[in-house]
Structure 1
Amino acid sequence: MNLSRLSLLAGLAGLTLNTGLMANDDPYLWLEEVEGEKALEWAEEQNKRSLSELEGHPLFEPIHDRALEILTSDDRIAYPSLMGGQVYNFWRDANHVRGIWRTTSRESYRSDDTDWDIILDVDALAEAEDENWVWAGSSCRYPDYDRCIIGLSRGGADAAVRREFDLEKREFVEDGFVLPEAKSQISWRDRDSVFVGTDWGDGSLTSSGYPRQVRLWERGTPVEEAELVFEGEESDVAVSGTRFWDGDTPYDMIVRSVGFFTRHYYLFEDGETHRIDVPDDATLAGILDGQLLVELKSDWEVGDKTYAQGALLTTDMDAIRSGEPDFHVLYQPGPREALAGVSTTENRVIVGILDNVVGRMLSFHRDDEGWHKSPLSTPDMGTLSVVTTDDSSDTFFYNYTGFLTPSTLYQADAASDEHEVARAEPARFDAEGYRVEQHEAESADGTRIPYFVVRPKDHEDGDPMPTLLGAYGGFEIARTPFYSGVIGESWLERGGVYVLANIRGGGEFGPRWHQAALQENRQRAFDDFIAVAEDIIDRGITSAEKLGIQGGSNGGLLVGAAFTQRPDLFNAVVCQVPLLDMKRYHKLLAGASWMAEYGDPDDPDQWEYIREYSPYHNLDAETDYPRVFFTTSTRDDRVHPAHARKMVAKMKDMGHDVLYYENIEGGHGGAANLEQRAHLSGLIYAYLHERLDAGAGEQSD
């Protein structure tokens, strides 16, 4: 998407910022030119300085080497995807840096010596085509699974090339469904047609840079001649077409994402669209046995009934067609619960639950008497996530993990409740000497905010240890316990404590927890994070001199706001692929799609509350800040690298000492392959140890 150079609102032209700059006088706009010569020269100069220091730290090399060993080890779990009775897997290792797509039988997958059949070698493809290809996923045609649409991204960007691939012949289809690089949407409808949305030129994209049109593309015809079946508004986030399958019964649907959290669903039948009557913020979770599954994000009044926020509802598809649906509550979370996911097998609905941020699962089935619920016998006190389900049986695979428990993959049956370990990762560090605790901190408005602490069993409060605090707090994404060999090796075993905060804005307690920190209430997420930091200091787990924070994307905004508001609390800040300039975020790449989360800075009333926390606009030359480490990626086409670039340039011009690293590729994840991930880990943990070990240095060097 071309960068916008729209001016700021004329009405704000006279607004003076605490930096002395006018709101429309930003001397760092040139850093928004992603691949501008001057901007790249600037980034390379920052990289040279930061890499010279961090790669020279005595811990960089051992941390990098061990991280690479962990990330590329052959005993990692090869997570399955079930399709047509076969197991598929995408795999990267030291010999396949870009990765291989492969398949095997279910029997072989469960054996000690799996016989993998390589379908596509991305490394070989990249070399043959002289392209920096990064795997961007696949979508295979149901029910035969004989053809797939494969995504290939240059350097890890969201924009990708899409190509039809023949699974039987193991080759790309000549004159098949192919799209050039773009943030496209393409999905199978039947053997010879797909729903497609892409960049067709003026008027075909939304202001967020995603498809605005859905077209029906028939095999053998030019994509430019694909029939237009639906068009949204330019102000929408995106529109897409998709086919839901309920056994052998297809349902074509158009999804119009009016905002990031609001959408209109339409049945597409006989060339016409018919709006499905559910709330704008509801989510369609699937169709099973003719029953539509609907997740509610807010209370919904229907006649004399009120369906409560967070509920999972069902109704008959025939009733949807007739316009007289009769909804049934399948599951209603309790006050400390949240829906964590909905999946379907051939005959069952699997519902994941977060119960005070700990996972459990339920199975539902339907007969002539209605719906029936059964708890599934999953392991306790960890994070559970469905990995893949089968559309021709009730078999599914799920993952179980915790801070001190390596990931274990289970094969289960949703009908019989049989569970068995399919694969398990070995321990990457000695967890015997550590314990996990869950505490609560009181936020500024009195809300209790839970958080987890991972620390040595013999550690006593009052003996501050180097501590890394992480959180996310946005987009209804829940942060739950997870196992990381890299954190264990690079941080815990080297004398650190790890803390994970479950702040508002996330999804740990469902939609209400998310909505509590939206737009004008965004400060609550930052208050929650600060409250947890204060609480672990007050408990004596750590001290301000030994406390570091880390966050990426929305989490980068979080730590950016935290260190600009409370620089006294932290001695290290890792700010990754962040949002920081909240005056222009909606004009950079996909930023316009997030206004439902943050607000519209072009609206003077909304800018008033956004400006209060926008890290870029709250920098002060006289304030002592910790020495922040910013990371981003040139190829991130979701969150613009200019956020980090401009923040660093401004801080340096104010006289603040910061570190900056921009990966020339990597996309929004910041790393395009496992080597780059290991390198970034080495940089980050070298920085953290330098700043926090033994309370290293003053907070403002």
Structure 2
Amino acid sequence: MNQETQQVKQEEADPYRWLEKVTGKEALAWVGKQNERALAQLEKDPRYPDAYERILKIYTASDRIPYGRLRAGNVDNFWQDESHTRGIWRRTTLASYASGRPSWNILLDIDALAKAENENWVWKGANCLPPDYRRCIVSLSRGGADAVELREFDTQTKRFVDDGFRLDEAKQWFAWLDADHLLIASPLEGGAKNTSGYPRTVRTWKRGTPLKDARTVFEGPASDAFAFPAVEHSPEGREAFVIKAPDFFHQTVHHLEADGSLHRLPLPDDVDFKGIFKGRVIALLRSNWKTGDKGGLLPAGAVVSVPLAGLLADDLSEAVVIVAPNERVTVTDAVIGSGAVYVTILDQVKGRLIEAVPSTTGWRLDRLGLPEDGTVSVTSSDPFTDAILVNYESFLAPDTLYLVKNAGEPRAIMKLPPRFDASRYVVDQFFAESEDEVKVPYFLVHAKDMKYDSNTPTILYGYGGFEISLTPQYLPPMAIEWLKAGGAWAVANIRGGGEFGPRWHQAALKEKRPIAYADFAAVAWDLIHRKVTSPKRLGIYGRSNGGLLVTATMVRYPKLFGAVAAGVPLTDMLRYHKLLAGASWIGEYGNPDIPEERDFLKTYSPYQNVRADVRYPPIFFITSTRDDRVHPGHARKMAAKMIDQGHEVLYYENTEGGHAGAANLPQRARYDALILVFMMQKLMDADGDQAADGPADAPAVPDEGRPQEAHAPESGAPAQDG
């Protein structure tokens, strides 16, 4: 029997495949039964109603910062509260916004629109045409899915444009070329999809003509993850590009010429293209870049500048570094403003912001005067506005929004009121030693009077993938409730993330993925070793790739934890590439259709490796029927399998919400409150004996050294593939 035939037979043997039918009658009946069981246990807990109300109060508070998008002297904001469940899109002037008490002009009421059209509309944003930003394309989603309907909207008349640009629901992207043309990637009307379900054709679409007649300027292979347009508008003019991306971490950048042809720019194929600043391409490097025989070596992790005219002439002689990383410092982003490039860096996972301005001798760098030991992020910039908006926050310091004018100092214009008494708590940064002796940082937020007696209920949060960094952010409502109840909150900066640049991410790619799980287990062990907590008091929580993290870590290290919460998780790593957007993540995880890559995936895939004869901590799966990114079948199948194996499992599936898990603020509060109460029940109430014993092949936490893994099945292959 050849490998392909064996793989097909293994996939056919999956007894839970029927749960992959998202709206299948039997599958939804199973979901309904599990929802009823989970809500009966969690919502009937006497702590739930008050916790839900307190969390909802924070989410809907009228004194939240109304984060906005700069648009040529105006600021646009999308706002949800108790009176606007679905939300309103509104606009004010920058002067009014900067006063801290803006006067808003409502452009579109999504609640009213949904009611009038009898649709479950969820706002997904508006893309407006510079420089006046009057005409916009609004994206609307049914139930929060990634697929959106596109409609042209006039912000002056506050009406959808008759016979304007409009497309039915699909996963699609676009950019304005000018008032009468869009550069659009859509699978509709003659477009094509790739294996991930995303568009792979990019076309120029003229107003008043059907999309099927639009000129195709690019078509990528079905195996690519993405093909999408990028149009840079500025006072200097317009430059249009098409990005071809075989995966999340590789892309080729093509310049759209006046005749409609494409010119590939001679940039590295793993570059992160950020845009155009005064005729220069700005990009982040993921690997070293040698710019020719006489050129220098530009280091991985740097933000660089190179003239577009030079790139179009294959001349790299003026490529220069703007900001480079070092052992402590990582460049995380570069945002283009009207007068500067703003570079965000992490210094030991703590944020800084640098203003970079070109000069006759290179780039002049000025560090902006913002608070330290937190997270700094540019929330909005605009080439037609002489300012940017910058946010600062830390675990204990509420968000402060700053206005930074060109060559000026940050001015605080809005501040979030404290949501809890931070004086009672402290933040520590520790380093855990992973199995290969690499030091892995993590943050621990706890009460100042916490006793180091191994008895503090602790939630450890992680992600560890896709170059995403977990930086200090003001504690979310669920974490606030947890701390008030006597718990501690930990955040792990494991490999796979971007906390220390490309090398930190690349250390956990594909066959090296298990090092992320070893890092996470090492942080758990460090918390135990420091006598902060114990296995019976330690819970782990993650979403999406973080859901894969916590389920895989649970399967490999079952004795380390007392509870697990997995939100919108991946679990079936042998079929993930065949479910919704999964194929777009092959660059991160590997390809199960390649035998050697399938071999390493099946060593850790949670769904295949969970066993009846190992005692796992109680686990709560929470997902969404309308998630069209990570298939709900991942959570459904693993929950069903574990239930049938006799493990303690709760499962809840929201019928809307998309990959976010919630379509509005009440749903978001419910999501948080359910996880909170689950963790309270398992880590605060119980004696924790679920982690105290088990079969011999699930070792207890070692007395010293790093955590050990649970044994894999003797055959080396999972019981079911697929």
CA distance in 2, matches of 1:513, 1:360: 19
Q: Is the 8 A contact 2:234 2:384 kept in 1?
A: no
2:335 to 320, 326, 343: 343
CA distance in 2, matches of 1:201, 1:227: 12
Give the deviation of 1:653 after TM superposition: 1.2
Question: What are the equivalent positions in structure 2 for 1:659-674 lying under 5 Å apart?
Answer: 659-674=650-665
CA distance in 2, matches of 1:244, 1:112: 30
CA distance in 2, matches of 1:369, 1:95: 55
CA distance in 2, matches of 1:119, 1:560: 43
1:547 to 525, 538, 541: 538
Correspondence 1:328 to 2:328: no
Equivalent in the alignment of 1:265 = 253
> Can you list the C-alpha shifts for 1:221-253, whole angstroms capped at 9, x where unaligned?
011111111111111112122211242311111
CA distance in 2, matches of 1:226, 1:157: 26
How many residue pairs match? The answer is: 687
Question: What are the equivalent positions in structure 2 for 1:403-442 lying under 5 Å apart?
Answer: 403-416=395-408, 418-442=409-433
1:150 to 114, 138, 147: 138
CA distance in 1, matches of 2:479, 2:312: 53
Q: Is the 8 A contact 1:570 1:699 kept in 2?
A: no
Q: Is the 8 A contact 1:237 1:593 kept in 2?
A: yes
Give the deviation of 1:681 after TM superposition: 1.3
Q: Is the 8 A contact 1:146 1:168 kept in 2?
A: yes
Give the deviation of 1:24 after TM superposition: 4.0
Equivalent in the alignment of 1:4 = none
Q: Is the 8 A contact 2:61 2:81 kept in 1?
A: yes
Question: What are the equivalent positions in structure 2 for 1:146-545 lying under 5 Å apart?
Answer: 146-200=134-188, 204-269=192-257, 270-304=259-293, 305-326=296-317, 327-416=319-408, 418-545=409-536
1:591 to 570, 573, 582: 582
Match of 1:156, SS? coil
Give the deviation of 1:461 after TM superposition: 2.3
Q: Is the 8 A contact 2:90 2:108 kept in 1?
A: yes
1:82 to 52, 59, 70: 70
Match of 2:604, SS? coil
> Can you list the C-alpha shifts for 1:292-311, whole angstroms capped at 9, x where unaligned?
11210011223343221101
Give the deviation of 1:368 after TM superposition: 3.0
Match of 1:399, SS? strand
Give the deviation of 1:682 after TM superposition: 1.4
Q: Percent identity?
A: 46
Equivalent in the alignment of 1:33 = 21
Give the deviation of 1:468 after TM superposition: 0.3
Match of 1:542, SS? coil
Superposition RMSD in Å:
1.5
> Can you list the C-alpha shifts for 1:578-605, whole angstroms capped at 9, x where unaligned?
0000010000000000000000111111
CA distance in 2, matches of 1:390, 1:185: 20
Equivalent in the alignment of 2:606 = 615
Give the direction of change, closer, same or farther, for the CA distance of 1:411–1:112 in structure 2 (3 Å limit): closer
Correspondence 1:567 to 2:562: no
Equivalent in the alignment of 2:669 = 678
Q: Which amino acid aligns with 1:522?
A: R
CA distance in 1, matches of 2:457, 2:208: 62
Match of 1:405, SS? coil
Match of 1:87, SS? strand
Q: Is the 8 A contact 1:400 1:409 kept in 2?
A: yes
Q: Is the 8 A contact 2:301 2:331 kept in 1?
A: yes
Q: Is the 8 A contact 1:136 1:153 kept in 2?
A: yes
CA distance in 2, matches of 1:144, 1:35: 43
Structure 1, unpaired ranges of 5+: 1-6, 15-21
Equivalent in the alignment of 1:64 = 52
Equivalent in the alignment of 2:5 = 10
> Can you list the C-alpha shifts for 1:547-575, whole angstroms capped at 9, x where unaligned?
00000000000000011111111111000
CA distance in 2, matches of 1:700, 1:325: 59
Structure 2, unpaired ranges of 5+: 693-722
- Shifted more, 190-199 versus 245-254: the winner is 245-254
CA distance in 2, matches of 1:126, 1:147: 21
CA distance in 1, matches of 2:381, 2:188: 36
Q: Which amino acid aligns with 1:96?
A: H
CA distance in 1, matches of 2:225, 2:574: 19
> Can you list the C-alpha shifts for 1:644-665, whole angstroms capped at 9, x where unaligned?
0000111111111200000000
Give the deviation of 1:463 after TM superposition: 4.3
TM-score when scaled to structure 1? 0.96
Give the deviation of 1:201 after TM superposition: 6.6
Equivalent in the alignment of 1:19 = none
Give the deviation of 1:440 after TM superposition: 0.3
CA distance in 2, matches of 1:526, 1:299: 28
TM-score when scaled to structure 2? 0.93
Equivalent in the alignment of 1:3 = none
Give the deviation of 1:488 after TM superposition: 4.5
Give the deviation of 1:411 after TM superposition: 1.1
Equivalent in the alignment of 1:654 = 645
Give the deviation of 1:676 after TM superposition: 0.2
CA distance in 1, matches of 2:380, 2:651: 39
Give the direction of change, closer, same or farther, for the CA distance of 1:113–1:298 in structure 2 (3 Å limit): closer
Q: Is the 8 A contact 1:244 1:250 kept in 2?
A: yes
Q: Is the 8 A contact 2:189 2:212 kept in 1?
A: no
Q: Is the 8 A contact 1:350 1:414 kept in 2?
A: no
Q: Is the 8 A contact 2:43 2:674 kept in 1?
A: yes
Q: Is the 8 A contact 1:70 1:485 kept in 2?
A: no
CA distance in 1, matches of 2:531, 2:663: 39
Match of 2:442, SS? strand
Match of 1:661, SS? strand
CA distance in 1, matches of 2:8, 2:92: 63
* Runs of 4+ deviating beyond 6 Å: none
Give the deviation of 1:393 after TM superposition: 4.3
Q: Which amino acid aligns with 1:447?
A: V
CA distance in 2, matches of 1:160, 1:377: 40
